[in-house]
Amino acid sequence: MSAVVPLSSRLDARQVWRGRAASVPTGEQPTGWAALDAVLPSGGWPAAALSEILLPLDGVGELQLVLPALARLSHGARPLVLVTPPYAPCVAGWRQHGVDMRRVEIVTAAERDVLWAMEQCLRSGSCAAVLAWPRQADDRALRRLQVAADSGRALAFAFRDRRHLGNASPAALRLELEAVPRARVWVRKCRGGVVPAQPVSLPYAALH
């Protein structure tokens, strides 16, 4: 056997590659929900990445989940974009949550153009956050969105039906909303951290 070589010399000569998980920047995009921030590895929404929100039905608090972050971003330099929302956003309601509606662009697109429009907005780099409700989005399409969000440094939110939970997704974060018996959020996937075993209960305000 050859002579014993001290490891440090190998390390100094960069002959040994030391694997280490990419560090996750924390606290850049707080969700505004302290309980949720506490369990997410990035301390909030993953910056410049796709977050997938899976719902059983419309109207179970999916917007309240993102509205604190949107309200904060709407006072920043870049506008927000909603791509084909399922209903019209109620201006008075959004304003009560602190969103500046002058900074919210709404894009209507046919079903086949939704993913294209979302990708364009993300890739442009001039949007702070892009929300979309795609119906047909496969693994490849979501990966494109993830890459676009990364290159455009934007938050991407894809709201989808809960039945897609079984399909793999390249999103950095997957949340599942539960409405009954009470409003809870399950973290189904989070990049850079361990998926918490317990759901997070969100104290949605009684009136809002």
State the residues that interact with other proteins by CB under 8 A.
56-64, 67, 76-79, 85-97, 100-102, 104-110, 113, 116-117, 120-121, 123-127, 151-153, 179-183, 204, 206-208
Q: In terms of CB distance, is 89 or 193 closer to other proteins?
A: 89
Q: Beta partners for 52? A: 158, 174
Minimal distance, residue 134 CB to other proteins, in Å: 15
The whole-angstrom distance between residue 103's C-alpha and the CA centroid of its chain comes to: 20
Q: In terms of CB distance, is 165 or 193 closer to other proteins?
A: 165
Query: CB-hemisphere CA count at 13 Å for 69?
Result: 29
Q: In terms of CB distance, is 26 or 124 closer to other proteins?
A: 124
Q: In terms of CB distance, is 131 or 190 closer to other proteins?
A: 131
Minimal distance, residue 62 CB to other proteins, in Å: 5
Instruction: Name the residue among 18, 2, 46 with its Cα closest to residue 187.
Output: 46
Between CA 65 and CA 43 the distance in angstroms is 15
End-to-end CA distance of the chain: 73
Minimal distance, residue 20 CB to other proteins, in Å: 26
Between CA 202 and CA 179 the distance in angstroms is 11
Cα separations (Å) of 173 from 45, 49, 83, 91?
8, 8, 20, 28
Minimal distance, residue 205 CB to other proteins, in Å: 9
Q: In terms of CB distance, is 117 or 171 closer to other proteins?
A: 117
Minimal distance, residue 55 CB to other proteins, in Å: 9
